[in-house]
């Protein structure tokens, strides 16, 4: 089995939706020329995640529908390039707006529409409508069927996000991102991959995009191999801060063999003892006035 090639489009946004379409197309074409099976955009590519230091009434007007020309363009591009594309955008949804990822397969078929569940309600994202659930889909690739899930940025800070995706069968989690990827956030990604025995691919914006620093990454979650003494580094790729198309290669056969024998994931859990995890009550010191159920 050949390795699954994942292109992380660590690119800076332009000044308009039309320019972002044009730049996005060129970067997807570049990724495919390098052999990519999947191309992933950073968070909310349609407007470059420009929702800070602006009036809410201004940036919410930039929301587009899930069936907009912007989204459909990347579906057609996926079919043309025969490459899966994870495109991100500010979605007009019912009476609000969402932070959304649509995943097209290499035939241009829409496989997933995922909206960020854990919105940053302590800040401007409180004006976003949170997503309802985590989804796993089967993606047809040149490497065969791959079970794909998604998280968006702040979702990764909750172990429940990746754990639910693992329980639903995910082998690879795609994570569009728009924040500084410093040591602790990278540690979160490493931990989510390690404890669930799955791969996590994260695409961030580069410097000089405000509050971003690149560092897009791919962790495969494989901590131990028979031929390696002790624990190995699960990081297959960590980009620098500069703009670019960064390619990671995931050995799915190796990952699947590892999941058959190692001790993490769902191997030895005791869910019957975890009832407190689904209780909704909150007590000090975790009471926050801006929390939304």
Q: Is residue 287 part of a domain?
A: no
Q: Which of 201, 206, 281 is nearest to 235 (CA)?
A: 201
The number of C-alpha atoms within 13 Å of 158 and in the hemisphere containing its C-beta is 16
Q: Is residue 116 part of a domain?
A: yes
Range of the structural domain that residue 126 is part of: 4-278
Crossing angle of the two packed helices 159-167 and 183-196, in degrees rounded to 10: 30
Number of domains in the chain: 1
Rounded to 5 degrees, φ, ψ at 84 are -65, 145
pLDDT at residue 293, as a whole number: 82
CATH code at position 119: 3.60.110.10
Separation of alpha carbons 160 and 99, rounded Å:
19
Q: Is residue 285 part of a domain?
A: no
Over residues 225-260, the pLDDT tens digits come to: 988 889 999 999 999 999 999 999 999 999 999 999
pLDDT at residue 1, as a whole number: 75
Distance of CA 55 to the CA centre of its chain: 27
Q: Are 37 and 4 in contact (CB under 8 A)?
A: yes
Q: Is residue 290 part of a domain?
A: no
Over residues 187-216, the pLDDT tens digits come to: 999 999 999 999 999 999 999 999 999 999
Given a cut of 70, the residues of the chain with pLDDT beneath it are none
pLDDT at residue 28, as a whole number: 98
Q: What single-letter DSSP state applies at residue 285?
A: T
Q: Are 111 and 118 in contact (CB under 8 A)?
A: no
């Amino acid at each position: 089995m050949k390795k699954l090639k994942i292109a992380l489009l660590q690119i800076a946004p332009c000044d308009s939706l039309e320019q972002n379409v044009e730049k996005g197309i060129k970067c997807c074409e570049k990724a495919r020329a390098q052999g990519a099976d999947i191309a992933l955009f950073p968070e909310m590519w349609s407007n470059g995640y420009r929702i800070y230091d602006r009036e809410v009434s201004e940036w919410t007007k930039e929301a587009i529908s899930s069936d907009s020309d912007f989204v459909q363009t990347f579906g057609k591009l996926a079919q043309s390039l025969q490459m899966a594309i994870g495109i991100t955008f500010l979605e007009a949804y019912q009476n609000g707006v969402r932070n959304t990822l649509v995943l097209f397969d290499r035939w241009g078929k829409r496989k997933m529409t995922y909206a960020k569940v854990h919105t940053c309600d302590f800040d401007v994202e409180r004006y976003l409508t949170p997503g309802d659930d985590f989804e796993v889909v089967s993606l047809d690739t040149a490497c065969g069927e791959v079970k794909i899930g998604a998280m968006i940025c702040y979702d990764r800070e909750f172990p429940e996000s990746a754990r639910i995706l693992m329980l639903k069968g995910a082998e690879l989690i795609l994570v569009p991102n728009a924040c500084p990827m410093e040591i602790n956030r990278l540690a979160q990604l490493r931990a989510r991959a390690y404890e669930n025995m799955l791969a996590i691919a994260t695409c961030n914006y580069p410097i000089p995009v405000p509050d971003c620093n690149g560092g897009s990454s791919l962790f495969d979650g494989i901590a131990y191999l028979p031929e390696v003494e002790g624990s190995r580094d699960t990081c297959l790729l960590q980009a620098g801060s500069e703009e670019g198309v960064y390619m990671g290669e995931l050995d799915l056969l190796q990952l699947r063999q590892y999941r058959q024998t190692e001790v993490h994931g769902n191997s030895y859990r005791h869910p019957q003892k975890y009832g407190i995890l689904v209780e909704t009550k909150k007590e000090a010191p975790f009471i926050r006035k801006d929390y939304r159920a």
